[in-house]
Each structure stands twice: as structure tokens, then as C-alpha cells.
Amino acid sequence: MTSSDLQPQLEFVSCPHPEGQHRMAYWRWGDAQARRVVVCVHGLTRQGRDFDRLAQALVARSAEPLQVICPDVVGRGRSDWLTDPMGYQIPQYAADMLTLLGQLGASVGKGIESLDWVGTSMGGLIGMVLAGQPGLPMPAPVRRLVLNDVGPAITWVSVQRMQTYVGQYGQYRDLDEAAAAMWALSQGFGPVPADVWREMSSHMVRPGTDGAVTLHYDPAIGTPVRALTPEAAVAGEAALWGVYDQIRAQTLLIRGADSDLLTPETALAMTQRGPKAQLETWADCGHAPTITSAAQIEVVVNFLLRA
């Protein structure tokens, strides 16, 4: 591993939306010319630096050149914000990822040879949409897919919980106050050492006024969530099962044992249909494990890097 591999490189891609263009930021770990690519996509209110520890482990342990790409989904992190809040939905996110993959494929000399996907919650939904539609203009099919505490069926209880907090934030005196406020909403992540949480939280804020900080994302990302109805959720679930059943990638499904989003029944069904996912249930976690502990990282790295 070279010194440049120890920290990610911040890059951008220009993506279309109905009113024009926006820039999506992404963090690149490893060899920019590697034909083997792992894309890691975060959850609803998170950003790409959530995957720092996993990305470092993948680059360090891969026997061949590898690049790990961790986008800040539009409206989060270093990416632009949309003018129309109803654009903050899976179709736009998936379209942005296709644009990103196209740029990555063009920048690698002989094109992408191997493509893997790690998706936490919302990032897993985006991954399912891309892996489960064979006709999409992908530079390579998704070879291995990691779904972190998400499936085609999402409980209405978890949607209602998200409706109460997404986009509801103000300013905090400093990083420590912001980290504490975020932790109060993040117990489902499971045990995370205080120093690790503070480091993760440092990427979750941006400067506010008078030395204060505020969260990194556009509050309007919560608009489509609050507009969701039980009827629309049922229709979306049926469509996602149709997509899931078309996935051909080897699939690892991670479930937090206490998750209120991914039920044991849905997880079991995912092992029996479509790609017949390999299920890992992690104790002491709800929605959704951070994949930051050595044991969690080991499971994902072994799945992605095994021959």
C-alpha cells in the first residue's frame, strides 16, 4: 500500500437531474487505475466517510490492485443539494450511480473488470435496483452484493421513526455536542467506541455560524420520507421484490438482531428466493451495523475478497 492509499481522494462527477446538473462527491481509496472496483454506499442521513475502516481493510488485504469508491449521495456530505426536494429518491440516486460508474469505467484503461457493491440501508436499496435490472448501462455486472440491514420489505414502524427525525436539526456548539445528539438517534448501530464515533461524527458536520456546526445534509432529504404513505410503501415493496428476484450477484445479507427495519421473516425470505442471500445476523445491533469493528469488517472483507 502506498502513502496515497492511506487517505481517500475527494473527486466529483456531474450528474443530470430534471432541472439541470448537480455534482456528486465521492471518496476514492486505493489505485485509481485498478480494474477491480468496490462501491460502498451509505444510509439515508449518512455520507461516504462512514466506510473509512472497511475501505482501508479492503485495499490493504486485496491481492490485486483495487479501488474502493464511497460516494456522498446527492444532498449529503460534499455533494450538491437539489432544488426540488422530491428528487431525493431512489430513481435519482440510482441514475447518479450509473453516471459515476460510467465515469469510473472510462477512466480505467481497459474498463472495469470486476464490480462489487456494499450498501447500508438506502445504499443497499440503490444496489438492489442496479444489480436487479440486467438492461441498465453498467460497465460490469455486480459480482458480489452486500446488503447491510435492508431488503425489499421495510416495516412501516421504521418509516414512521425516520419521519420523526430526518431533516430535523439545528446548530450545535461544537463537534462533541453534535456527536452526542447523533448518538442519541443511533443506538441501533450497536456498540461503537467513543473515539470511533467521534471520528465518524467529524465527517457528519459542516460549519454553521459563530463557530457552531450543523449536520452535513440538506434538511429537505426528509421531504419524500414524510410524504410516504402506507399504500405507496406496499407498492414499492412489490416492485423491489421483483428487482430482488432478478439479482444474480452473490449476495451477503447482514441483519442487526434488533433491527426494526429488516424483519427476521423478510431476511429468511431473502435467503430462499432471488440470489438466495447468505445471512449473517449480528447480535447487539439494530438498524444498522456500522461495519467498523474488526469482527464486522472481517466478515465483509472475507466475502468480497475470497476467491
pLDDT score at 10: 98
Place of cell 455533494: 79
Please tell me the number of Cα atoms within 13 Å of 12 on its side-chain side: 11
Q: For residues 144 and 307, what is the distance between their CA atoms, to the nearest angstrom?
A: 12
Buried b (16+ CB within 10 A) or exposed e, 61-99: ebeeebbbbbbbbbbbbbbbbbeebebbbbebbbbbbeb
Position 109 pLDDT exceeds 90: no
Domains in the chain: ranges and CATH: 3-167+217-305 (3.40.50.1820)
Tell me what the pLDDT averaged over the chain comes to: 95
Q: For residues 218 and 171, what is the distance between their CA atoms, to the nearest angstrom?
A: 13
pLDDT-derived band at 210, boundaries 50, 70, 90: confident
- Supply the DSSP symbol for 86: G
**76 vs 168: which has the higher pLDDT:** 76
Q: Residues 1-30: pLDDT tens digits?
A: 444 447 899 999 999 999 999 999 999 999
**76 vs 208: which has the higher pLDDT:** 76
Proportion of the chain above pLDDT 90, given as a percent? 90
> What cell numbers appear for 288 in the block?
444498522
C-alpha distances out from residue 226 to 22, 64, 66, 85, 167, Å: 24, 44, 39, 11, 10
pLDDT score at 1: 45
pLDDT-derived band at 113, boundaries 50, 70, 90: very high
Q: For residues 241 and 135, what is the distance between their CA atoms, to the nearest angstrom?
A: 17
Are the C-beta atoms of 286 and 259 separated by less than 8 Å?
A: yes
Residue 284, by phi and psi: left (phi above 0), alpha (psi -120 to 50) or beta?
left
Contacts of 192 (CB under 8 A, 6+ apart): 200, 290, 292
> What cell numbers appear for 46 in the block?
449518512
Q: Average pLDDT of 53-58?
A: 98
Are the C-beta atoms of 86 and 224 separated by less than 8 Å?
A: yes
pLDDT score at 93: 98
pTM, full prediction: 0.96
Are the C-beta atoms of 153 and 163 separated by less than 8 Å?
A: no
Q: For residues 287 and 189, what is the distance between their CA atoms, to the nearest angstrom?
A: 6
Position 208 pLDDT exceeds 90: no
Place of cell 421513526: 161
pLDDT score at 2: 45
Q: Residues 220-237: pLDDT tens digits?
A: 999 999 999 999 999 999
- Supply the DSSP symbol for 277: P
Q: Residues 144-194: pLDDT tens digits?
A: 999 999 999 998 889 998 998 898 888 999 999 999 999 998 989 999 999
Q: Where are the beta strands (DSSP E) in 76-137?
A: 114-120
Contacts of 139 (CB under 8 A, 6+ apart): 101, 102, 104, 105, 111, 112, 115
